[in-house]
Amino acid sequence: MAAQSKSAKLDRKKLFSDPVMVGMISVLLIFLVLFIVYPLFVLLIDSVYTEGKLTLSVFQRVLSMQRFRTAFSNTLVLGLLTGILSTAIGLLFAYVDVYVKIKNKAVGKLFNVVSLLPVVSPPFVLSLSTIMLFGRSGIITRSLLHIYDSNVYGLKGIVVVQTLTFFPVCYLMLKGLLKNIDPSLEEAARDIGASRMKVFTTVTLPLLLPGLGNAFLVTFIESVADFANPMLIGGDYDTLATTIYLQVTGSYDSTGAAAMSVVLLSLTLILFFIQKYYLERKTAATLTGKASRARMLIEDKSVTIPLTVICCLVALFVIIMYIMIPFGALFKLWGRDYSLTFKWFDYLFKYSGLKAFKDSFLLSVIAAPITALLSMVISYLVVKKKFKSKGFIEFVSMLAMAVPGTVLGIGYIRGYANGIFHTGVLSGIYGTGIILVIVFIVRSLPVGTRSGISALRQIDKSIEESAYDLGAGSGRVFTTVTLPLIKDSFFSGLVTSFVRSITAISAIILLVTPQFLLITCQINEFAEKGYYGVACAYATILIAIVYLSVLLMNLFIRFFGTSKKIKEEK
């Protein structure tokens, strides 16, 4: 292996002769270690190391808490239910989209809207509207059905809300997989004499099985990590995420919370690794390449009509839930007095609403470009470069995807409140806007990185090599060739991280200090107090902001996007 090391040594030497590359890699490594690896590491240390000794006493204490044990089983039940339901509904939508002939254009639009919703949806929104539709003062329960003691809180509420929030993700994942199934496989089965149902159960479904498992686990992780919905509609059904939050804010027991966080983190990490390294690979192995030709769509009315109707009903229901929000803000008193009023908006702006919007907006606007740039740099390094710490960088930025926000929040509290390892170093950032911006960045980084990687994989390697060969250093190659070619992806990453930041809550709610008012925290506060009108007013404006940014993104891509320019001149 001595020879092997010579080319490796040369490669390293070449790498280090490029100061921009070295700079980029060092900055990234420092960032990832400080703000992802270190806070999680601190949680682990905290939960096994007390008063100078290695001990499992904190775990023992936590495990003996009835509250913790209930929360743990609650979390698993919730994840299981939400995972199964979301995957099933996602599969239905994907199947109808890919296999069924839909003549009506409006139905296609409806599907589009549904697939876009998870991107633009702030947390709480579905919980809020569920409460307003089915709660004690719900428009359906109280006003239509005259049920006065309806209780939407608890498991069923969370499951419904989470399913409606997460199934579009499954829909998009499974749609991509179904499209890759070669239609001739199914035609062959059909040709031998299998019925349509038989084809589905013996060909389509087995091929899709790893993909279904994948979708299920992704939803499971999301569900388990979700903080906002259980907080609002969970009632006394506590999950790990909410219990951790209450442990810190209610019992001021941050070591206990650290131990609980380690449990939650281990849960999501295990699932994440199964999903990432087993199922994703298996999916790729069974469904390789593209379909050989277009699929004959199902036109049989006995199949198309019921399936389409079910999907449309679900889609319409989701859309109605979103429409509830502005109405909630415009009615005088939900459940009692449905006369129109602006009093909630007035109230919002009178009581520091403007500051909340300003703070949220400002912090997100600072975080978004940093996130977009960082994730592009990471994807660039991961896809195009060879170096020693590349595996680490890729691993950690993927890891961030599996870390629940609440866990990250606790990690920051434990890790930075007294500085790094309680030395006071960097303690200055705790309680300031900086740490909030960092949380925004870390929370959006995996999403941006993932889309950056897929965008970069589509660029022929030799295009960058030719620039390199002509004399451009790595920095120049990145700015003059790579970045312009992934401009669309970069800009959508920018908007996505802005949207994710301005709608973030789980980690932020633990770290925010009174000097900052954030929209999401305000919504949480007012909804907790039962001031649904104000909460809806906040949410309405938030949805408007998010929707406008997405609109802006599409406009930008239409007029300035690279791909558009290239396409148009073809």
Closer residue to another protein, CB minimum distance, 196 or 390: 390
Shortest distance (Å) from residue 452 CB to another protein: 17
Shortest distance (Å) from residue 346 CB to another protein: 50
Closer residue to another protein, CB minimum distance, 269 or 472: 472
Q: How far apart are CA 533 and CA 543, in angstroms?
A: 15
At 332, which helix (H) or strand (E)? strand 331-333
Q: Under a CB-based contact definition with an 8 Å cutoff, are residues 408 and 507 in contact?
A: yes
Shortest distance (Å) from residue 290 CB to another protein: 20
Shortest distance (Å) from residue 465 CB to another protein: 6
Closer residue to another protein, CB minimum distance, 321 or 376: 376
Q: Under a CB-based contact definition with an 8 Å cutoff, are residues 74 and 239 in contact?
A: yes
Strands 331-333 and 337-340: antiparallel
Q: Which two tokens stand for residue 461?
A: 């390697």
DSSP per residue over 510-547, as a string?
Answer: HH--TT---HHHHHHHHHHHT-HHHHHHHHHHHHHHHH
Closer residue to another protein, CB minimum distance, 109 or 388: 388
Shortest distance (Å) from residue 464 CB to another protein: 8
- Residue 353: which of 371, 329, 337 has the closest Cα? 329
DSSP assigned state of 266:
H
Closer residue to another protein, CB minimum distance, 485 or 546: 485
Q: Give the 3-state secondary structure of residue 280.
A: helix
Sign of CA dihedral 439, 443, 448, 449: positive
Q: How far apart are CA 214 and CA 94, in angstroms?
A: 15
Closer residue to another protein, CB minimum distance, 247 or 474: 474
Q: How far apart are CA 240 and CA 256, in angstroms?
A: 12
Shortest distance (Å) from residue 478 CB to another protein: 13
Shortest distance (Å) from residue 239 CB to another protein: 42
Residues 6+ apart with CB under 8 A from 543: 120, 122, 125, 322, 325, 326
Q: How far apart are CA 468 and CA 356, in angstroms?
A: 47
Helix residue ranges per DSSP H, 193-298: 196-199, 205-225, 228-233, 240-249, 254-273, 280-286
Shortest distance (Å) from residue 13 CB to another protein: 5
Q: Under the rule (CB under 8 A), what is the footprint of another protein?
A: 3-4, 6-8, 10-11, 13-14, 17-18, 460, 462-463, 465-473, 476, 480-481, 484-485, 562, 565-566, 569-570
Q: How far apart are CA 95 and CA 205, in angstroms?
A: 11
Closer residue to another protein, CB minimum distance, 346 or 469: 469
Closer residue to another protein, CB minimum distance, 29 or 472: 472
Shortest distance (Å) from residue 47 CB to another protein: 38
Shortest distance (Å) from residue 471 CB to another protein: 5
Rounded to the nearest angstrom, the gap between the alpha carbon of residue 343 and the centroid of all alpha carbons in its chain is: 34
Q: How far apart are CA 97 and CA 111, in angstroms?
A: 8
Q: Which two tokens stand for residue 158?
A: 């969370």
Closer residue to another protein, CB minimum distance, 14 or 529: 14
Closer residue to another protein, CB minimum distance, 115 or 562: 562
